[in-house]
Structure formats: structure tokens, C-alpha cells
Structure 1
């Protein structure tokens, strides 16, 4: 189940009776088994494939981050790439924001969705929309500078410059280092207004971030998170190409 393949298919692989596994299948098995990067690379070579590149472009989540997020079932949390692409979510994370792992193409990046899909903004307090725009543009500028021309960050920049007048206006401000004040305000369709503190744990080898959202004990937002855990991930998010 955690490898997203059937028991029958996995059993046939173990008996060397199944079809030769694709690179995508090997990546799924490696992630499901919580392999380290050296173990993942060895598995790829055993299957006759070249291992995927390591670093910022990798989507292989480290076993350490997986062990942490697996123990956060009662907390909204997610693992994201440096471009804001969600790789893993806790159940309460899905209940908070919807399943953001379902997106494909450039829409996997929340920064891209922010400027191209108006529905993305409905989850956040209207007074904070301008700050979100500045944060996303500033963060993307830093990534474009860090990764250089031809990078995935540069490709996202080019797409947004072509598709969003607002992004072009914010981009022209040349801001860098814009951050949130530690609190994010949500307008959740089921439980209403939420104020959550975001704590970040960075995996420097993979440039992945574990984002954990909490509310002050005894606060109204804390009680609403408890209610949300009961309601569960009822909302769905439509994938965008």
C-alpha cells in the first residue's frame, strides 16, 4: 500500500516473475521502504536503471523526515520541495488544505497556483493575499538566482511572467527575503478562521522542508483543529495540468 502497487504485482517482482519494473515503480518502492539515498541508488542499479539525480531536483524524501511525519497524524504537516511542491501530507494536513499532492505539471508548485488559479486563494485570509504574493515571488527569485538559467525555477518564472500580470508587477519590485511573521491565517470552508504557527525543519541534502502547523493550546484555533481532525479530509482539490 505504501508503495502504491498491488500485493500481487509486488509478489511477482519478488519471485522475478513480473514485468521489468520501470524507473517510476522503483522510485515508488524505494520511497515506500524508506530507503536512504545510497540504498535507493543501489536498488535502481539492481533493476538496471540509472539512479535519479540527488539534491534539489530529487523527490525522494529522506527516511528521517518520513519517520517524523509518520508520527504527526494529529497535526497538520507536509513535506515540500524548494519550489513549494507537496510530496507528503498528514491526514490533518489534507483536511486543512486539501490533497495538494494530486497536482501535476507546474501547478504542483503552490507559488504557480497562487498566481494562476484564483481558487487557491480562497483558503487564506484576504488581508494576507498581498503578502503571500510577495513571499512567493521573492522565494522564486532566490531559487532562480541559486539554480540558474535552465533550472526548474527559471522555467516556473518564465511561465508566470507569461501568464500572470500580477506576478509581473510583483516580480518587477525585485524583492528578496520576504517571509511570513510565523503565523498563517486561513479561511477554512468547514471550521472558519484559523491562525496557525508554522515551524520548519529543513533537510539540507534534498532541499526538502517539513512544515508543521500548530495552534496555541486553549485558543479558538486549537479547538477548531480538533474539530477538523474529526471532520477529516472531506474537501477535494481538482488536479491542474
Structure 2
């Protein structure tokens, strides 16, 4: 990931494929992947990342509608011409309502917090970079949350993987481009992970929250992608019947405002 000049997606609905059929090895070479990888995809084994899907579509010279259909089949949001969406839609609002007392925060595709529910136990910045989880993860400003070193490395790797895919989907997003450029400048870890091209997916994780009244609360959290608006929902839970669950419940009773 690097601060490159602006570029368009290269997909024009009026563009036709230059060749009716492409051999597997030709497609692999054009897309920069192995022929064996293409074979596995053809057999329905595995799911291509947004980045791989993008280069495959370019190699196949797909039209814009064809590319968008391919994205929908693979469960990805196609690139937008401008900025990544930064609105919480009605479907997401209903999801927040149905989660009841479960703490959750909703982020855009660049990992900036847009909304949160029952999350008074964490510190969230008031504006700009202070509200961006990627920025805070790589600049040492995690607020009141801590992870083990192993979990922190895994979390950072997954953030880089997701930001790389987001940058491909929204190549004209100046805010996102500036975020990536600044992270590369201030964080050697971010720069190294970006160059390594390690594809780390979200996994179940655990974090300890230092609450000023309830003390330390260890919670599990899961990250869900909401296709409406290309959002990320982070859901926090504690083991039923545990002391952490009891402490978490107390904090939710004190903090019930939605932002």
C-alpha cells in the first residue's frame, strides 16, 4: 500500500472483451497469480479477496456490470468512484436496535467509528483520526483497551489486509489515501505489513477494557462486514455467567446513549 497518484477503476460499461476466451495460464499471468490458483477458483474452492477479484476482472476485460455481478457472487462491494461510504443506513440502525444490550461499534471501510451502542466502557475519539481504529492501532493510542502481543499482531495484520482491499475499491478517496500515507510515515510496523502482502482475515479476538469504575473487563469481540454501506460492526461479548459479564452489564446500565 502506498500513496499512488489517482487512478480510475478502468471498467467502462461500453467496453467489450477483446478475446472471447482466455486460457487459464494466460489469465493467471495477466492477473499475477498462479494457474493452480485459477483452477481452484474454477472448482469453487476458496474465495478470492477483493484485490485478486479486481485484477482478475481487469485481465478478463469485464464490463462494469459484469464486474459488479462478479463482486456480488464473491460477497464483495465493488469499488466506488469517490470516497468510501460514511453513513449508517436504516438496515444497520435496525441491527443496532435488535442487538439490545450488546455493546457494538460501527466503522466505515477505512475503520473510522461512525456509531456505537452501549459502548460507554471504551474511549472513542471525538473527531478525525481520533475516531479511526487503524490510526489508533498503529500509533499506540488504544485508549483503555489492551491485547496480548500475539493478538495485537494479528489484529494489526487484519487491519492492513482490509485497508489494502478498501484502497482498491475506492481509489479516489483522498481521506483514505492520506491516512495510509501518514500511517506508513509514522509506523514502521504498518509499512512492513503493507509491503509483506500478508492476507490476514478477521478471527475471533479478545481484548481487555480498563473501565474507570468497573475495573478490567475481558471481552471477546467479533467483526462483521455489513454490505449495506460497506461497514464493519465490532460486537463485544463476555462469557455468560462470568465476572466479566457481570461487570460489563453494570457498565451498560450506566451508558445507554447511542452516538
Relative to the length of structure 1, the TM-score reads: 0.61
Q: Does 1:187 align with 2:214?
A: no
In structure 2, the partner of 1:196 is: 220
Aligned-pair RMSD on alpha carbons? 2.8
Q: Does 1:67 align with 2:94?
A: yes
Output the CA distance in 1 between the equivalents of 2:158 and 2:187.
16
In structure 2, the partner of 1:82 is: 109
Output the CA distance in 2 between the equivalents of 1:165 and 1:185.
23
In structure 2, the partner of 1:239 is: none
Q: Residue 122 of structure 1: CA displacement?
A: 4.9
User: Is the 8 Å Cα contact of residues 56 and 206 (structure 1) preserved in structure 2?
Assistant: no
User: Is the 8 Å Cα contact of residues 81 and 170 (structure 2) preserved in structure 1?
Assistant: no
Which deviations, in whole Å up to 9, do the C-alpha atoms of 1:152-183 show, x marking residues without a partner?
A: 43332111112222212222221123322x13
Q: Residue 89 of structure 1: CA displacement?
A: 0.9
Report the CA distance shift for 1:161/1:133 in structure 2 as closer, same or farther (over 3 A): same
Q: Residue 147 of structure 1: CA displacement?
A: 2.5
Q: Which runs of 5+ in 1 are unaligned?
A: 1-52, 234-241
Q: Does 1:175 align with 2:198?
A: yes
Report the CA distance shift for 1:166/1:210 in structure 2 as closer, same or farther (over 3 A): closer
User: Is the 8 Å Cα contact of residues 225 and 232 (structure 2) preserved in structure 1?
Assistant: yes
Q: Residue 225 of structure 1: CA displacement?
A: 1.0
Output the CA distance in 1 between the equivalents of 2:137 and 2:102.
24
Q: Residue 110 of structure 1: CA displacement?
A: 0.8
Q: Residue 81 of structure 1: CA displacement?
A: 0.5
Larger radius of gyration: 2
Report the CA distance shift for 1:99/1:184 in structure 2 as closer, same or farther (over 3 A): same
Relative to the length of structure 2, the TM-score reads: 0.58
Output the CA distance in 1 between the equivalents of 2:86 and 2:99.
20
Q: Does 1:153 align with 2:176?
A: yes
Output the CA distance in 2 between the equivalents of 1:231 and 1:137.
34
Map 1:1-241 onto structure 2 (within 5 A).
57-72=84-99, 74-90=101-117, 92-93=118-119, 95-100=120-125, 102-104=126-128, 106-116=129-139, 118-120=140-142, 122-127=144-149, 128-148=151-171, 151-180=174-203, 182-190=204-212, 191-198=215-222, 200=224, 202=226, 204-232=227-255
Report the CA distance shift for 1:113/1:99 in structure 2 as closer, same or farther (over 3 A): closer
For the residue of structure 1 that corresponds to 2:84, the secondary structure is: coil
User: Is the 8 Å Cα contact of residues 184 and 196 (structure 1) preserved in structure 2?
Assistant: yes
